[in-house]
Structure 1
């Protein structure tokens, strides 16, 4: 059973439809037992880091997510869901994250007005880790919309994009994966990435 965590994240139905397009029968759920007993979990998100973490805490899902990851379940965070995998964010003050990947989330600097924030649109991925299952991401464009980005050790970065600074686009630590972009809005490339996750991470 594949679960998509449902916590008023906004784009969960689009992620569900993308899973269906690659032949995966996923279910939206906020049920702790169903999440913990899943063969894989997707964690999408849009909006503000603090609001999302508060919602998770109110629903008792923070420890559920941490327990699910710690038992080795493949886990994929998408957009804000990826950012929440890290230790903390500076958005609207310092907010503690899930602490699953070492690092922090910071605002993309506007570079004296030369860099448009948020990054909204297509950007080209550069592969940073030759051992990843996502090798096909090299030079492929994916769709971004975000004002904050992950600052972390390069060992966790699978691919990055150039936005006047290097922004991690795919991250990975053990069974934990994150896409800063929206695979459900990234056309065939996004579907390839989801299919690869299910076939080479979940099914192995």
Structure 2
């Protein structure tokens, strides 16, 4: 069973439908034990870094992510659900994140913001998430991103400057783009992730 963490942020129904294409049962939940013990956990996120982090803390989502990582249980962060996994974000002031990776989520240095629409990515060598869709485009909607290397497998994209489009760190993965809005390529990434469960 895949749990989608409901902490007041994200398009949960569209994520649920996309992950159901994997053939797995998909449950939207804010229950600590259910999220902790699910085969796979999805942490969505839409909106501002601080608001998402506040919602995550209310359901002890930061603890869930850390415990699942320690237990090697697969977790996938999406969009702001990826951003809050970093050490800090500087959208509307500086705010602490979950701290799984040491980088800061900063405003993109680009002529047009938000970065909205389809963009290609440069997958890391040996990527599991992008196996079979290395040359495809994915759907992004964001103005902030992590840019500095954090010493784990990172896939990059470019909008004004390079930024981290996805991370694969053992059982913890994350995408800055929305796989559930990225058509067949996004569903392929979801399938690749669910095959690791």
Q: Deviations over 1:118-152 (max 9, x none)?
A: 1000001112x212212333221000000101123
Structure 1 consecutive aligned stretches of length 4 or more whose deviation exceeds 6 Å: none
Match for residue 36 of structure 1? Answer: 36
Would you say the 8 A contact 2:147–2:162 is kept in 1? Answer: no
Q: 2:138 aligns with which of 135, 142, 157?
A: 142
Matched, 1:164 2:131: no
Distance 1:14 1:55 in 2: 19
Matched, 1:151 2:141: no
Q: Deviations over 1:81-100 (max 9, x none)?
A: 01111111011111110111
Would you say the 8 A contact 1:72–1:175 is kept in 2? Answer: yes
1:89-104 equivalences under 5 Å are 89-104=89-104
Distance 2:77 2:29 in 1: 15
Would you say the 8 A contact 1:84–1:97 is kept in 2? Answer: yes
Would you say the 8 A contact 2:103–2:150 is kept in 1? Answer: no
Distance 1:59 1:17 in 2: 23
Q: CA deviation at 1:197?
A: 0.4
Match for residue 76 of structure 1? Answer: 76
Q: CA deviation at 1:154?
A: 6.0
Q: CA deviation at 1:106?
A: 0.3
Distance 2:97 2:16 in 1: 24
Contiguous gaps of at least 5 residues in structure 1: none
Distance 2:17 2:33 in 1: 23
- Closer, same or farther: CA 19–38 of 1 in aligned 2, 3 Å: same
Distance 1:75 1:59 in 2: 16
Q: CA deviation at 1:162?
A: 1.7
Distance 1:93 1:159 in 2: 27
Q: 1:130 aligns with which of 125, 128, 145?
A: 125
Partner of 1:137: helix, strand, or coil?
Answer: coil
TM-score by length of 1: 0.91
Contiguous gaps of at least 5 residues in structure 2: none
Distance 2:154 2:135 in 1: 13
Matched, 1:59 2:55: no
| Matched length | 196
Partner of 2:190: helix, strand, or coil?
Answer: helix
- Closer, same or farther: CA 157–121 of 1 in aligned 2, 3 Å: farther
Match for residue 114 of structure 2? Answer: 118
Would you say the 8 A contact 2:103–2:149 is kept in 1? Answer: yes
Match for residue 88 of structure 1? Answer: 88
Would you say the 8 A contact 2:32–2:64 is kept in 1? Answer: yes
